[in-house]
Structure 1
Amino acid sequence: MKRIMIAGTKSGCGKTTVTCALLKALVNRGKKVASFKCGPDYIDPMFHRVVIGTSSYNLDSYFFDENTLKYLFAKHSLDISVIEGVMGFYDGLEFTDSASSHEISAITDTPVVLVVNAKGIGNSVGAVIKGFLDYSKSNIKGVIFNGVTHMTYERMKKLCEGLKVKPLGYFPYTESAAIESRHLGLVTAAEIDDIKERMEQLARTAEECLDIDGILELCSESRIKYSPVVFDKIADVRIAVTDDRAFCFHYRESLELLEELGAELVYFSPLADKKLPDGINGLILSGGYPELYAAELEENKAMRESIRSAILKNIPCMAECGGFMYLHEHMGDYKNKEYDGVGVIPGGCRMLDSLQNFGYIKMTAQKDNLLCKRGESIRAHEFHYFCSDANGDAFVAEKGSRSWRCVVAEGNLFAGFPHINFYANPEFAKNFIRKCADVQTEKA
């Protein structure tokens, strides 16, 4: 199981571009490639999926214990596994190493190639590289210089000679292959009409400018020791899951856990479909960018009524962030123009100028609810600019010294801004399946 991590000095240094370029180049060479993303990000794995044509998975040492992380990594690895880092290589929780790319590279014993944005600096890039090498014991074995020309690279790679790190190429800025950003990060792959052409262009650049054979030589093949994390089937249930441009944030491994427990997942589009899939016992409204499609979502009144009817008929419903916003009576778009939502949560939600909550949290239930009992907890993640008139009070979220109430959890509904990966507490997934099975029993 060969593996390599593409990490960076900071956010925005070019990790995703280099990772996608390398993935596509390896696929074009006929390699069987798996991709992974450190941390809770949804968007980068979407680009990975476009490149390799299969699922990309998250590796998150805040959500997962060490054994679970190793198991999921080994389970989904192929001939070559490429892990994209998160933020700067050493950036973790509360200015610690916890949940950092560095920690995940150590857990998985994965060699690291450090992407350095070298545009606008010269000899100082040597100090940057040396700082990363000396800061802590690490698996950094190679360096890629981003944003420079071949001429500049020829001079910069000489700086690596005394640093015990291998220069593995450079990546020039290519405007036609650039990926735009917005308030939650990069735009999604589905929004770029010529995404496949851009990925091919990146692959050509990788073949010309990166030492791909050198990267492959650095790959580790050491055995990862773990105990399998498997679960017995609970019940046959049919769960509808949103999946379109507006609601596209999914943790693939989390959904696969539901399937392992007995769920048949049926995907649908609140933008294009007129009603929920037939015969469902549960409903998941995932996160995404509903604020960009608020007018279209309002226009599809039939779907809004179908979802509202299902929830009022006690179909278990889990709604995260964008899905939670959609359930309000009113939802603001990114310009704060108001549109009608599903209407099962009173009031509205609107976009503010700054992030409302950002980062990892621990959620503890204040009462029995759809997913757990009072006092039980799960690790989760928030990242949004929106506020709600009905943020909910079923859970207390904790982040460092701060805490706040969140999540509307009444009867068959669990809805709030936090994003959950079921592997953070599989009991939540089991309880959801059981509640869906109860609906099936009642129907029978």
Structure 2
Amino acid sequence: MAEVKVPRFMISAPGSGSGKTTIVCGLLKALMEKGLSVAAFKSGPDYIDPMFHSRVIGAKSRNLDLFMLGQATTRYLVAKNARHADVAVFEGAMGFYDGMGKTTEASAYELACTCDVPVVLIVNSKGAALSIAATIKGFKEFRSDSYIVGAILNNVNPMSYLFYKDVIERETGVKLLGYFPVMQDCNFESRHLGLVTAEEIGDLQQIVAKLAAQAAKSVDLDGLLQIAAQAAPLTYDEVSLEPVGRMRVAVAMDKAFCFYYQDALDLLAELGAELVPFSPIADAHLPENISGLVLGGGYPELYAQQLADNKTLLQELKTAIDGGMPCFAECGGFMYLLEHYRDGDKLYSWVGALKGESAMTKKLTRFGYVHLTAQQDNLLCPAGGTINGHEFHYSDSTNNGASFIAAKASGRGSWECANTTPTLYAGYPHIHLWGNPEFARSFIKQCAAYAAK
């Protein structure tokens, strides 16, 4: 068992829509402007919020999902990624206690407990006064080990904040660390999978600069740092990885394909892959001398025509996959490998490495956490191999595959999924490779074998 001192705090809230991501971005920037090195983490499986963190701090934010990673791996990844930072900032998902089903399992609360993280609650205070104290006290006392030690009020004017500050602190025993007023010009837009991506907000840096200036003005940043410094040393088990070989692996990275867990990509690199980004929208050719492909999720449906127009790349991808180049494709990446994408009466021709087509539906399809079990030997594991994952998509396809069984974590239902061969995984479920590093090792072994041909 190893130990490292990581000053850290978590920003959480009673529920979604409280302003967590907006405020976290402002705090990250304000802390950086104090000359601090900042590490950022997001609880849960969400891909989009970490993109905002990453744009602010200039380094990759990391997902910490207890269902997919487990407690030991989660603690290790925090230590690995934050050991050299002056402070680590965690953003909780949804409401603080909201976990799987009717439980707190995999919630921001359980992440705080797992990693011993002091919690600062963001409370949307619009239209409330003393009831703010009831909300804070209720959350603090809902569990005896809540880790809640501070609060920041959102959407409140300075006069109201100063007027109620003493009574709220007296009633709750929780320190108020400041406030944010209503900032209409600093909201992030949303779409069907959550916020629009950070890349799509042209004035993101100006928005973040305003938020940081407000944080410096109305938030006790030194108080936050004092809370972070009081966090207990983080204990964890070291993990040793031996490279499988050396090869180049192409990773689709652009506006259409941008859903990746950075730690999972780092794992592939630690096992021997040189990751080479390419754009299925803009690049006419695959990178040279590659021995594997990774096609992540994202929003390919928004760029259907541009993807279809890039015919040279489509053909190169089909030729490579048909020729046995190992390919790991999730959700949007899986859709891209099908023959067609349908938008009403319009049919777009995509890679065609798999038969079938996809189309958008009007609601989330097969949404939630799943236990995945392989039904046959495949690129990632032998038959019987297991890993946890999640599905979150509005599209569906005519060829979802049957190489894995996805069982709802709630126990309510299961279905077949994923098209696989010894050199292919293509399916809707998202997985985090640190959830079972042997999946990553198997993929890299196949890439090494392909490189040796």
TM-score bracket, shorter-length normalisation: over 0.9
**1:356 corresponding residue in structure 2:** 365
Equivalent residue, structure 2, for 1:417: 428
Check conservation: 1:294, 1:332, Cα contact below 8 A: no
TM-score by length of 2: 0.95
1:148 paired residue number = 156
Deviation at 1:199, TM superposition (A): 0.9
1:60 aligns with 2:69: no
1: distance between equivalents of 2:399 and 2:160?
55
Q: Confirm or deny: 8 A CA contact 2:341 2:358 kept in the other structure.
A: yes
Q: 1:242 aligns with which of 222, 243, 252?
A: 252
Which residue, out of 80, 86, 103, partners 2:110? 103
Q: What one-letter code is carried by the residue in structure 2 that aligns with 1:121?
A: A
Question: Paired residue for 2:382?
Answer: 373
Q: Does 1:177 align with 2:186?
A: yes
Matches within 5 A, 1:211-230: 211-219=220-228, 220-230=230-240
Amino acid at match of 1:419: H
Give the RMSD, CA atoms, in angstroms: 1.2
Aligned mates of 1:212, 1:69 — CA distance in 2: 27
Mark the runs of 5 or more structure 1 residues left unpaired by the alignment: none
Paired letter, 1:58? N
Give distance in 1, aligned partners of 2:17 and 2:341: 31
CA drift at 1:336: 7.5
Cα distance per residue 1:362-414 (max 9 Å; x no partner): 10011111111111110011100011000111111011221011101134221
Match of 1:20 in 2: 25
Structure 2 SS opposite 1:121: coil
- Which of the numbers 78, 81, 104 marks the counterpart of 1:76? 81
Corresponding residue pairs, total: 441
Shift of 1:214: 1.4
TM-score by length of 1: 0.97
Which residue does the alignment assign to 1:403?
Answer: 414
Match in the other structure for 1:288 = 298
Percent identical pairs in the alignment equals 49
Q: CA deviation at 1:163?
A: 1.0
Distance 2:184 2:308 in 1: 36
Note if 1:134 corresponds to 2:145: no
Deviation at 1:177, TM superposition (A): 1.4
Matching residue's letter, 2:441 = K
3-state DSSP of counterpart to 1:122: coil
Distance 1:320 1:141 in 2: 39
Q: Which of 126, 129, 132 matches 1:122? A: 129
Distance 1:172 1:303 in 2: 49
Letter of the structure 2 residue corresponding to residue 418 of structure 1: P
Superposed CA deviations along residues 25-50 of structure 1, whole A, max 9, x for unmatched, are 01111101110111111111100011
Q: Secondary structure at the match of 1:55?
A: coil
Q: Does residue 191 in structure 1 map to residue 200 in structure 2?
A: yes
Judged with a 3 Å threshold, the aligned counterparts in structure 2 of structure 1 residues 27 and 336 are, in CA distance, closer, same or farther, namely farther
The more displaced of 301-310 and 156-165 is 156-165
Q: What whole-Å deviation, never above 9, does each CA across 1:53-90 have from its counterpart, x for those lacking one?
A: 01111111112222211111011111100000011101
CA–CA distance in structure 1, aligned partners of residues 345 and 351 of structure 2? 17
Matched, 1:200 2:205: no
- 1:106 & 1:255 partners in 2: Cα distance? 27
Q: Structure 1 residue 85 and structure 2 residue 95: aligned?
A: no
Equivalent residue letter for 1:192: I
Do the aligned partners of 2:377 and 2:422 also contact (CA within 8 Å) in 1?
A: no
Distance change (3 Å), C-alpha of 1:292 and 1:156: farther
Residue identity opposite 1:75 in structure 2: K
Three-state SS of the structure 1 residue aligned to 2:66 is coil
User: 1:221: how far off?
Assistant: 4.0
Task: Specify the SS of the correspondent of 2:96.
Answer: coil
Give the secondary-structure state (helix, strand or coil) at the position aligned to 2:265.
helix
Partner Cα distance (1:359, 1:155) in 2 = 43
Q: Which whole-Å CA distance do the structure 1 matches of 2:13 and 2:420 have between them?
A: 39
- The match for 2:450 among 436, 439, 443 is 439
After TM superposition, give the deviation of residue 337 of structure 1 in Å: 4.1
CA distance in 1, matches of 2:407, 2:62: 26
Paired residue for 2:3?
none
In the TM superposition, residue 343 of structure 1 has moved relative to its aligned partner by: 1.0
Deviation (angstroms), 1:164: 0.9
3, 6, 9: which one pairs with 2:8?
3
Superposition pairs of residues 251-400 of structure 1, within 5 angstroms: 251-332=261-342, 337-399=346-408, 400=410
